[in-house]
Structure 1
Amino acid sequence: MRQNPSFAMTDVAELRRLVDLHPWATLVSSTEDGLIASHYAVLLDDERDDLTIVGHVGKPDDLIHGLGSRELLVVIQGPHGYISPSWYGDAASVPTWNFVSVHLSGVPELLSTEENLAVLDRLVARFESRKTDPRLMWETPNDAAFIERLERGTVGFRLTPTRVVAKRKLSQNKTPEVVENVIAELSGDGPYASAELAAEMRRAADARTRP
């Protein structure tokens, strides 16, 4: 992802927030057969306060990616959406796309069986927790034998990125009046409305005006 200093995100707390809110990631590796991409959920490492993430892949994706021996690029896609030139008023303009994205790169370390089980347990708990009747990984009808077979079909990893590229392109190059109008359009009921993107723009706009 080409970086533009005007749109760069560098605040670790903000980056952690984006990763936590958007755990469905794209994993990209360069192999002898060309580029390969897979899609898995990742979590922030709960024992760290940096951008270290943990996750797993299903076998044989670990071999395809060379997990643990080659660089892995993890792409986190935050809110994004179409921005109509009509939202800019009468000024000459063209359509664009606003978005927030975080790229984490590094060589991941492989997790032990116990560590992988803990990550799988966390993943299930994270998403089941939104249900009124969550069914956690170790609860019946699952038993230990089933969970152990499940774990053997996966490979867990921890990635402490050695390179981070994060971009928040949210109309920062427009006047405050235009930004407010774009937020209003995204907050409406039109075909390109996006409450999530509007909220992200509001957060970025408020941060720019905060003393």
Structure 2
Amino acid sequence: MRHTPSFALDDPAEIRRLIRDNPWATLISHTESGLVASHYPVILDEEADEADGVVLVSHVGRPDEVLHELGRHELLVIIQGPHGYISPGWYDAAPAVPTWNFVTAHLHGTPELLSDAENLRVLDRLVDHFEERMPEPRRLFGTEANAAYAARIVAGTVGFRLTVSRFTAKSKLSQNKPAETVARILGELDGDGPYASPALAAEMRRVHGGDR
């Protein structure tokens, strides 16, 4: 990812927030057979020591652990936050080109494969993480039947923990535009046009100030 100092996102706390808000990730490995990509939800290992930096846990379905050669080399995990098209018509009358605003992070590290028992705990945390918003959450171990089912399906998955050894992240949200232009962009993103995106508008307000 091209490094642009004015758009660089270097704060690990912001990377953690980005992961919490956008857990659907792309996993990419450079294997002996070539590039392999898969898509899985990831969550932060909230039990990890803060000194360890950013630590993820998740799982893959078999045989993805073989296809990725998981644990044998570095894995690239891409987190994609809100993004969207920005029309030059939202600027002013001067000639301009369209662009795309976005927030994304590229996380690198060699995954540690988990035991079945650890994997089951991660699956339990994944389910709880997403079910907690439901009016009647379904728990992995909510009943004896659920627990027996979970014990059967764990064999079809491989859990992993990824301590991020390095990351590059970018928050390109019109930081190079004057305040009046930013206000017009926010108005369009908050509106009902074809490229409206309240989520992207909210992300822009984080960097430009919530009063716009």
TM category, shorter: over 0.9
Residue of structure 2 equivalent to 1:161: 164
1:142 and 1:88 mapped to 2: Cα distance? 58
**Match of residue 68, structure 1, among 51, 61, 71:** 71
Residue of structure 1 equivalent to 2:32: 32
Which aligned pairs between 1:4-15 and structure 2 lie closer than 5 A? 4-15=4-15
2:69 and 2:97 mapped to 1: Cα distance? 42
1:108 and 1:129 mapped to 2: Cα distance? 27
Aligned-residue offset at 1:34 = 1.6
2:203 and 2:149 mapped to 1: Cα distance? 41
Secondary structure of the structure 1 residue equivalent to 2:148: helix
Aligned-residue offset at 1:141 = 6.9
Which aligned pairs between 1:33-112 and structure 2 lie closer than 5 A? 33-48=33-48, 49=50, 50-112=53-115
Write the letter of the residue equivalent to 2:66: L
Segments of structure 1 that go 5 or more residues without pairing to the other structure are: none
Aligned-residue offset at 1:130 = 1.2
User: Scaled by the length of structure 1, what TM-score is found?
Assistant: 0.94
Return structure 1 stretches of 4+ with deviation > 3 angstroms. 140-145
Report how many aligned residue pairs link the two structures.
208
Q: Deviations over 1:23-63 (max 9, x none)?
A: 00000001122211000000000112331100000011001
Aligned-residue offset at 1:145 = 3.3
User: Scaled by the length of structure 2, what TM-score is found?
Assistant: 0.94
Residue of structure 2 equivalent to 1:147: 150
Write the letter of the residue equivalent to 1:140: T
1:152 and 1:39 mapped to 2: Cα distance? 19
Residue of structure 2 equivalent to 1:17: 17
Aligned-residue offset at 1:114 = 1.8
2:191 and 2:137 mapped to 1: Cα distance? 34
Aligned-residue offset at 1:177 = 1.3
Write the letter of the residue equivalent to 2:127: V
1:77 and 1:143 mapped to 2: Cα distance? 32
- Between stretches 12-21 and 142-151, larger displacement belongs to 142-151
1:145 and 1:205 mapped to 2: Cα distance? 50
Residue identity (%): 60
Segments of structure 2 that go 5 or more residues without pairing to the other structure are: none
